[in-house]
Amino acid sequence: MPNRLIHETSPYLLQHAHNPVDWHPWNGEALARAQNEDKPIFLSIGYSACHWCHVMERESFEDEETARLMNEHFINIKVDREERPDLDEIYMAAVQALSGMGGWPMSVFLTPGLKPFYGGTYFPPRDMYGRPGFQTVLRSVARAYREQRALIDESAGQLTAHVRDMVAVPRGHGTVGYEVIETCVQDLRQRFDSRHGGFGQAPKFPHAMDIALLLRYHAKTRDTEALRMAEFTLEKMARGGMYDQLGGGFHRYATDAQWLIPHFEKMLYDNALLAKTYTEAYQLTRKPLYRRIVTETLDYVLREMTLPEGGFYSSQDADSEGREGIFFCWTPRQIAAVLGEEKAKIAGRYYGVDESGNFEQGLSVLHVSLDEEALAQRYGIPEDEVRDLLQEARRRLFDEREKRIKPGRDEKILTDWNGLMISALALAGNALDEPRYIQAAARACDFLLSHLKNEDRLWHTCKNGRAHTSGFLSDYAFFINGLLDTYEATRTVRWLHEALRLADAMIGHFWDTQDGAFFFTAHDHEPLIARTKNPMDNAVPSGNSLAILALLRLSEMTGNTDFKHKAVESLQAFADGLCRVPAAFCQMLAALDFWLAPPREIVLAGPDSNSLDPMQKALFERFLPNKVVLYAEPDTREPLAALSPLIEGKIPVNHSPTAYVCANYACQQPVATVDDLMARLD
């Protein structure tokens, strides 16, 4: 018989709907039952693409004896961390305080008053791996709660106070300047892996925001080492097993220092952030490799991660057929069956596939082990023939792989992650002159506004037409930036207008009137044991980082000084953390760089709708991150003028397309050619 999760929309919760555990979703009924029955809560948090979440389900939550213990002694609540990042952040802080580490599945025991008192991550079914077995944990916690209640309550109170201290952000003092960015770059230099790229050792995460900051630092200072670190890392990731060499797109992280063996789930946010960073690297260097990675990644998203109506799905699983990574791995025999022995020999050498394998049971994760020039020399074949052979091999191997059982896909739509992908598509469409990416960004904007917005409020998630969970700061901040990027790509004033409306709502619902900056949850959000304001970047940028950038961009576009004041006040609120550990704030430092630049305000005025295309193309072919662009055209001038005083007086000179380059609302003489515009920007 299904449990209460059968009525949920989250694929992760539905995966547990037929467990013998009496699961509840997080709701008033479950919390009231814990209070009425005076039972501790077992809170299990994970997500649908999580490999070890699946393992713990098979080993423990599907086990009848384990379920009996859980049902007898606890109120059991299952939460999708992607639907409730507020709960995930608070209780992850508790687990980290208890164990010194975090991860998923997250397993936390709470009092009926929601205060944590014990927890961990994955628990094996029996005592092993140096960890207590889950049944051992259940019996011990139940006994302690029954026999040592006063001690449990005291411990829960102390841990809750500690969590509140951990998530609190005292108001900063002083101001922050460019020296903070320089300190961050020095820290990245010290942690840079000069052999394999990236920062630190295994496991290796992509850190797209760190690389993006290095690109900005190089553009400002011409520091060649910053560019070298960024490029070396981008190239190593692109050639490694963390990148899907056949289908495009990035897996979540590499388990080793060489970027070879990934944790195989694919997350929408990783691919959005990396596609944007590779686009910026291409703008800066014009290297074909970066353009190829962008197009393959975004083509993967449009092919496999896009709802027909325009939104983007959340993730693809690590597992298929009950095994992690089997969908993506190959043996020499499998490749030969597709390509024939001779071509398989060359393709296998290129992708690093041999009889011993580099993964499990003789399987290999594809990676670029030898480049095309070296292959040509090794086999005595012209390089262009090698290139043609590899292109054909990639196509045929991909077609063969499509016949396999695919990993599961989490088809819920998350507003914040969609905002990141919208930005990536809009920027890439502009930079690569690819209209289909721009069209996909605009379609997704329309989808979110139609399905995940109600008056001035955003919903956080939607599946099968059912939107729920009030939006978080990240939903507003990420989507506002996506709307601004889409405006700069499409020249459609509607997107700028919607961004302004959401910015006003974001300030109204999330702004901290006492200490400045933004809370993660709205003022009328369900009361929890803490209200967080985390400014540090994690796998995704912090909501505050992109809120600051959005307000700075909007201030430049519209002349709204209140937006700029709140952005600067937010930077000052986080000044202590920025100065103490700047490398934890790379996205916020990019916003700081935008503020300090000062940004260019560029108005393109055209006599008709197509005349501005060459200037727009030239602007976005180059790496110019600290700019805003407005388009004054006959059919948009009037609605745009109502939003932006910067438009006033910006008309085509001699009925020709004309560019105005301004800073701090002071404009230089207009120019009428692309060459003059580029010279003016230089």
In the chain, residues under CATH classification 3.40.30.10 are 4-167
* Lowest pLDDT segment from 24-28, 561-565, 579-583, 662-666: 662-666
Structure tokens given for 402: 């499509």
Whether the bond into 203 is cis, omega within 30 of 0: yes
Average of per-residue pLDDT across 147-172? 92
Give Cβ neighbours of residue 184 (< 8 Å, ≥ 6 apart): 213, 582, 583, 585, 586, 589
* Tally of CB atoms within 10 A around 663: 16
Average pLDDT, the chain: 95
- Inform me whether the pLDDT recorded for 50 exceeds 90: no
pLDDT of residue 478: 98
Q: What is the 3-state secondary structure (H, E, C) of 278-309?
A: HHHHHHHHCCHHHHHHHHHHHHHHHHHCECCC
pLDDT of residue 100: 87
Angstrom distance (rounded) from CA 75 to CA 68: 12
With residues binned 3-state (H G I as helix, E B as strand, rest as coil), the percentages for the chain, rounded to 5, are 55, 15, 35
Do the Cβ atoms of 570 and 517 come closer than 8 Å? yes
For the entire predicted model, the pTM comes to: 0.96
CATH number of 600-681: 3.40.30
Q: Which has the closest alpha carbon to 214: 228, 201, 202?
A: 228
What is the band of 424 on the pLDDT scale with cuts at 50, 70, 90? very high
Topology of the domain covering 4-167: Glutaredoxin (3.40.30)
Average of per-residue pLDDT across 127-147? 93
Average of per-residue pLDDT across 516-545? 95
- Identify the burial level of 333 via C-beta atoms within 10 angstroms of its C-beta, where 0-12 means exposed, 13-18 middle and 19 or more buried: exposed
The pLDDT > 70 percentage for the chain reads 100
pLDDT of residue 435: 97
What are the two backbone dihedrals, phi and then psi, of residue 553, each rounded to the nearest 5 degrees?
-65, -45
What are the two backbone dihedrals, phi and then psi, of residue 475, each rounded to the nearest 5 degrees?
-60, -45
Structure tokens given for 76: 């059991």
What is the band of 528 on the pLDDT scale with cuts at 50, 70, 90? very high
What is the band of 519 on the pLDDT scale with cuts at 50, 70, 90? very high
Q: Which has the closest alpha carbon to 345: 395, 393, 402?
A: 393
Inter-helix orientation angle 415-432/473-490, to 10°: 20
pLDDT of residue 506: 98
Angstrom distance (rounded) from CA 417 to CA 388: 36
- The answer to whether domain 178-321+409-596 has CATH 2.40.40.20 is no
Q: Give me the DSSP letters along 559-627.
A: --HHHHHHHHHHHHHTHHHHHH-GGGGHHHHHHHHHHHSPPEEEEEE-SSSSTTHHHHHHHHHS---SE
Average of per-residue pLDDT across 297-322? 94
Beta strands at 658-663 and 666-667: parallel, antiparallel or unpaired:
antiparallel
Higher pLDDT, 609 or 493: 493
- Inform me whether the pLDDT recorded for 23 exceeds 90: yes
Q: Which has the closest alpha carbon to 534: 574, 480, 592?
A: 574
Angstrom distance (rounded) from CA 356 to CA 331: 9
pLDDT of residue 172: 81
Do the Cβ atoms of 71 and 54 come closer than 8 Å? no
Torsion on CA atoms 468, 471, 472, 477, rounded to nearest 10:
140
Containing 658, the helix (H) or strand (E) segment is strand 658-663
Q: Give me the DSSP letters along 450-472.
A: HHSEETTEEEEEEETTEEEEEPP
* Lowest pLDDT segment from 351-365, 396-410, 492-506, 659-673: 659-673
Angstrom distance (rounded) from CA 62 to CA 85: 26
Q: Which has the closest alpha carbon to 481: 424, 419, 425?
A: 419
